Structure 1
């Protein structure tokens, strides 16, 4: 829960603390993304545009429920998902190469 800060330094310290948590969660999410590549048959399965839209709809709803800006949440998630798709495509290609050698 966000607290009211009295100085810019206090705000920055709280943001730094949140950034540590966010990066740890991104690392955890990334591990799951890498695992998911094993279950996808092809690159279309990796890109999964319908799944992307499901996730966006879900996080917009979550955003509204906690009082966050849904537009910001959507933009952040779209950027994050695009980066993770690139990671998963590389992982998928690597796995496919291992299977053919």
Structure 2
């Protein structure tokens, strides 16, 4: 495995693509780890309505926007990504909780 290159050290499109592929793999690994915790949360919750917590969601979004600014990222784009992730997680949790309740 080769060492990561800084963006400025990439001299070709292939160099850039290789680094994006490396980062994408790291992101997928992190999403998979996060998914394990989302699954566990769904196992702990007892009512499908618990999956949607607007206060918690807005706290997360506020934090993501602040952290994005600290990283010189577009905070609107980061918010869009996180809202999509949160919406997916809500639906996933609701499905697990509802299925468990039906199985009783």
Bin for the TM-score computed over the shorter chain:
0.7 to 0.9
Residue 75 of structure 2 corresponds to which residue in structure 1? 70
Q: 1:3 aligns with which of 4, 7, 28?
A: 7
Please list, as runs of the form range in 1=range in 2, the aligned pairs for 1:88-99 lying within 5 A after superposition. 88-98=93-103
Deviation beyond 3 Å, 4+ runs, structure 1: none
Gaps of 5+ in 1: none
Cα distance between partner residues in 2 of 1:24 and 1:94: 27
Residue 41 of structure 1 corresponds to which residue in structure 2? 46
User: Does residue 55 in structure 1 map to residue 54 in structure 2?
Assistant: no
Q: 2:34 aligns with which of 23, 29, 37?
A: 29
Distance apart, 1:97 and its partner CA: 2.8
Deviations 1:28-63 (A, max 9, x none): 111100100122232221011221111111111111
Residue 24 of structure 2 corresponds to which residue in structure 1? 19
Q: Is the 8 A contact 2:48 2:93 kept in 1?
A: no
TM-score, normalised with respect to structure 2: 0.85
